[in-house]
Each structure stands twice: as C-alpha cells, then as structure tokens.
A and B are shown apart, each in its own frame.
Chain A
C-alpha cells in the first residue's frame, strides 16, 4: 500500500452526548503540505485530530484516505499515521529504546534505526536505556516525537508538539517538521506556538466552536501573517 497523498474530510460532525465538538467540517489535506490547525481551547482541534487518527468515530460525515488515487482503509490507514498527542503514548516503565522496539514490532518496521532516530530528535544518549518515567518533560516529548516518526508516516498528526520544549528545541522541531513535509508527508499541527511553524505551514485552518471558520492555502506563512489570520478569525 502506497503513502497517503490526500485526506478528504467531508462534512464531519462529532457530538459527545449533548456537546457538539465538530459541526460539519470539510477540508482536504494534501501531501507535502503542513496544515496549521488553529483555534481557541475547546474549538474542536483535538477532536478533529482524533477523527483523523481513526480513534474517534464521527457522528456523521466521513474521511477518505487516498494513496495514488486509490482509497485506503482500516489497518493500512493506521500504518500510515504518526501521532504526537498531549501525552507521550509511551510506557513509563520501559526505556526509550524498548518503547521504540515495541512499536517497531507492532508496526512491523524491520529496518528501524532507533539510535539514529533518537539522535535526530535529540534524546540524550545516556538517557536512552533508562526507564522513561525518569525523563524530564522535554525528554518525554522528544521520545514521543521519535515514536511518531518511527514508522515514517505519510500522515503526521501533532497536537501541541512544542509543549515542554525550550525555544531552541521548538524551533529545531519546527525545522524538522519542514523537512518531513518536504519528503511528501501530510503534516497537521495543532499549536498555539505560531513562531515555531512560521515559514513552514502552507495551509491554515481555523476552528471555532466546532466549525471551520477559515481555510486558506498559500506559500509558507510568516509569523506575522499567521498571527494576523489567527486574531482575525479565531475570535
């Protein structure tokens, strides 16, 4: 199965009981693009990422995942998704290497170069064989990123990826995301740190109370433009 190059979100709505989290969101995510999914807390960004990740079932509407014009479904979709969530999605009792070995096995990734990946995300060599419960917030975030990148996903979903990183770390991560995008990956970033994605995000979508109130594609947006768009449409 090939890499995903198009994700079409069609009138996706999600309710949790009487709470409306998403109200008929439609948009397309394309390969080699970085979508900055913005909005205030409670706007529905995390729910949309959940639906995109296949772990939240939409109340109505659907998402079509395509690779080379063909629909991709089920386990083949999940194989292509990398996710960095609010929590690390890693086992605290296992070391960084053990965590990545576990997930490499679950994803059937046979040629995973775990040390190179941990070098890439900047996880200290001495910490790699220590239980991850001993890590600082920033180290946990680096491990979580390594887990998300381990499978070379073609759809990378990132929920506040810069949390816990210092300014240098956040900018370096932003740079890495730019490289990942350039390799053909669909990158979706939920963040309030507009500076870290400035110059890389080329697709902006703003959610307000579950509705898509703004969507635009362009060249890589500057920090000022992103800030301006956010303040004009998120409020």
Chain B
C-alpha cells in the first residue's frame, strides 16, 4: 500500500510542477496541433484516404509528442539533481519508477485528448464511432510509452547525448506498440469496422505493456544506481 501511496505522491509532484510551469504540456499540445494542421494540408481529404491514413497520423503525433515529454520531464529531475533526492529517500525505488511513469502517461494522454478531436475535426475522420475502444487503445499506448520511456529516460539522465540517444533507443522498442495502436485504430475507422481485429490488437498491446512493466520494475533500480 505504501508503494502505491508513495508512487502517487511522486506522480502528483510531477503533475504539480507541470501545472505550474505548463512547459511540457504547452509544447506537446502546440507540436501535436501543428502536426494535425500539416496533415490536413498534406493529405487528401477524400473519405477513403482519410480512413487509411488517420490511424498513422494519430500514432505519429502521440509518438513524437511523447518523446518530447519524456526528454523534458527527466531533464527537470537533472536540473537540481532531484532524481538523486528521490532515489536517496526511503521510498521503494519501484515507487519512484511508477510515480514517474504514471505522471508521464497522464501527460501523453492529455495530448491525445487534444489531438484526437482535432484530427476528427480537421480531416473529418470517424474517430469517435468506437470511442470506448479508441480510448482504451490510447490509454494502453500512453502507458506503454510512459513505462518503456521512463526506464530509458532515467537511465540516460547522466549521459551527455541523451537527447539524441533517447529516441534512437526508444523507437525500436515502441514499434510493436505503435503497430498495435495503428492496427486497432485502422480496424475501428474502416467503412466496415472490424472490432474483432481491434480487440486482438488491444489484447496484444495489454500484454506488451504488462511484459515491459514487469521488466522495467525488475531492472529500474540497477539501471539508475551508478
């Protein structure tokens, strides 16, 4: 119980810092919205083209904005060496990891909440026909990005070229997650939606997240101690 209470405390601290500075969310939303505007000019608007391209647009936006959030959120812990303060505290290190990951997932979700309606509006995409399934896959995607990203962002905290290394290391690991997200979304926005295929990919994503969560909990402590 203490583990989750302390994780919640750390997550709330991250969100409180972000609510005060609005630095990460503002950058993510601006960048996400910019991508939507670019898509709306760069891609044809006929129904068939939109249905086939909007899943990719959504997940590219989530991937790019998620990376921005990861880099900056962990940079903040480096500025006054506050990560050291968290690791020095008697809080289980798993709580530190979980707290950071939950806060990160909340940031990614906040952007998805803005970008998804914008895509639906600008491209007239039928993204909300299966809103429940779409919400579930976006939540699972955000959790996956947050879990996998938090491990590597924390590990690279003291590496000078971390801004370059983070996406290089992160994206290959996130490919299955983006494939699952895109396939689910594509199955839901077809003219004849294939909910069976969507649920197959949602289950895949759930298992992928769970596997990385277990792995991350296992390796986090050994990765962050020098």
**Given A103-B85, A106-B86, A89 and B80 contact (CB-CB distance below 8 Å):** yes
**Which residues of B are found within 8 Å of A90, using beta-carbon distances?**
80, 82, 85
- Contact mask for chain B residues 1-23; partner A; CB cutoff 8 A; 1 contact, 0 none: 00000100110010011001100
State A86–B86 Cα separation when bound (angstroms): 16
**A79 vs B6: C-alpha distance when bound (angstroms):** 14
A91–B103 Cα gap in the complex (Å)? 16
DSSP majority for the B interface?
A: helix
Does B91 count as interface, using CB distance less than 8 angstroms?
A: yes
Task: Confirm or deny: A50 has a beta carbon within 8 angstroms of a beta carbon on chain B.
Answer: yes
Q: By the criterion CB–CB under 8 Å, are A55 and B87 in contact? A: yes
CB <8 Å contact, A85 and B90: no
B-facing mask of A56-75, CB < 8 A → 1, else 0? 11000000000000000001
Asked if B161 is at the interface (CB within 8 A of a chain A CB), the reply is no
Contacts known (A55-B226, A57-B226); A91 close to B82, Cβ less than 8 A: yes
B35 to chain A, nearest CB (A): 27
A9 to B16, CA, bound (A): 40
For B81, B84, B85, B226, the residue with the greatest tally of chain A CB atoms inside 10 Å of its CB is B85
Q: Which residue of B lies closest to A74 (CB)?
A: B90
A53 (CB) vs chain B CBs: closest residue? B88
In the complex, residue of chain B having the shortest beta-carbon distance to the beta carbon of A108: B90
CB distance from A103 to the nearest CB of B (A): 7
Does A83 belong to the interface (CB within 8 Å)? yes
* Binary per-residue interface labels of chain A (92-112) against chain B in the complex, 1 for a CB within 8 Å, 0 otherwise: 111000100011011110000
Shortest beta-carbon distance from A219 to chain B in Å: 32
Tell me the complex Cα distance, A57–B221, Å: 11
Q: How far is the CB of A189 from chain B (nearest CB, A)?
A: 18
Given A55-B84, A75-B92, A147-B85, the answer on whether A102 and B20 have CB atoms closer than 8 Å is no
Contacting B21 at CB < 8 Å: which of A81, A93, A103?
A: A93
Contact A102 B88 (CB under 8 A): no
B9 and A93 contact, CB distance less than 8 A: no
Q: How large is the interface on A (under 10, 10 to 19, 20 to 34, 35 or more residues)?
A: 20 to 34
Residues of A within 8 A of B13 (CB): 91, 94, 102
- Interface contacts (Cβ under 8 Å), in number, total 75
B191 within 8 A of A: no
Q: Is residue A131 within 8 Å, beta carbon to beta carbon, of the partner chain?
A: yes
Contact of A87 with B by CB under 8 A: yes
A88 touches B80 (CB 8 A): yes
The answer on a CB contact under 8 Å between B85 and A79 is: no
Which B residues are CB-close (under 8 A) to A78?
88-90
CB contacts (< 8 Å) of A91 on chain B: these are 13, 17, 76, 80, 82
**B81 and A105 form a contact (CB under 8 A):** no
A87 neighbours in B (Cβ, 8 Å): 79-81
Residue contact B82 to A89, C-beta cutoff 8 Å: yes
Complex interface: chain A residues within 8 A of B84 (CB):
55, 83, 85, 89
Q: Which of B90, B92, B226 has the most CB of A within 10 A?
A: B90
Pick the residue among B9, B16, B81 that contacts A89 (CB under 8 A): B81
Q: Which residue of A lies closest to B19 (CB)?
A: A93
Q: Which residues does chain A contribute within 8 Å of B226, judged by CB atoms?
A: 16, 50, 55-57
- Asked if B214 is an interface residue, CB under 8 A from chain A, the answer is no
Residue of B nearest to A14 (CB): B226
User: How far apart are the CA atoms of A225 and B76 in the complex, in Å?
Assistant: 43
**Residue contact B88 to A105, C-beta cutoff 8 Å:** no
With A91-B13, A93-B20, A94-B16 known as contacts, the answer to whether A106 contacts B81 (CB < 8 A) is no
Chosen A-B contacts, 24 in total, with CB atoms closer than 8 Å, are A55-B84, A55-B87, A75-B90, A78-B90, A81-B88, A83-B84, A85-B84, A87-B80, A87-B81, A89-B81, A89-B82, A90-B80, A91-B17, A91-B80, A93-B17, A105-B9, A106-B9, A106-B10, A106-B86, A106-B90, A107-B89, A108-B90, A131-B20, A147-B85
Give me the 9 closest cross-chain CB pairs, A-B, nearest first. A89-B85, A79-B90, A87-B81, A75-B90, A106-B89, A93-B17, A78-B90, A56-B226, A93-B20
Q: Known A-B contacts: A57-B226, A91-B82, A94-B20. Give 12 more (CB < 8 A).
A: A55-B87, A56-B225, A81-B88, A83-B84, A85-B84, A87-B79, A90-B85, A91-B76, A94-B17, A98-B16, A106-B86, A131-B20
